[in-house]
Amino acid sequence: MYFAAGLLAIAIAAEVGATAALPRAEGFTNAGWSTIVVTGYALSIWLLTLVAKEIPVSVTYAISAGLGTVAIAIIGVIFLDDHSTRQKSSRLD
């Protein structure tokens, strides 16, 4: 169970990293960043399939979606010049 939780954390990090790299992929016209995006998403999905063998898929997906959403929102504000408003923040709870 702890191993699966660790894999889930890595899967979430891979997906968040890939999502953060999306703007730099420039509509998949930048090969280097596009490779990072596709690799990150592929790694995340592969790890989620491994996690789902130990943790029910409903729980796996709920944790991944929730933590991933919050993480990319924070990263977006800090590193990607996304603007935070009270209205946006209230949608994250």
Rounded to an integer, what distance in angstroms lies between the CA atom of residue 49 and that of residue 25?
Answer: 26
Q: Where do the structural domains in the chain lie, given as residue ranges?
A: 2-90
Predicted pLDDT at 52:
96
Collapsing DSSP states into helix, strand and coil, what is residue 91? coil
Predicted pLDDT at 93:
56
Q: Is the pLDDT of residue 92 over 70?
A: no
- DSSP class of residue 30 equals S
Rounded to an integer, what distance in angstroms lies between the CA atom of residue 6 and that of residue 35?
Answer: 24
Rounded to an integer, what distance in angstroms lies between the CA atom of residue 27 and that of residue 18?
Answer: 13
- pLDDT tens-place string over residues 20-79: 999 999 999 999 999 999 999 999 999 999 999 999 999 999 999 999 999 999 999 899
Over residues 78-91, the mean pLDDT reads 79
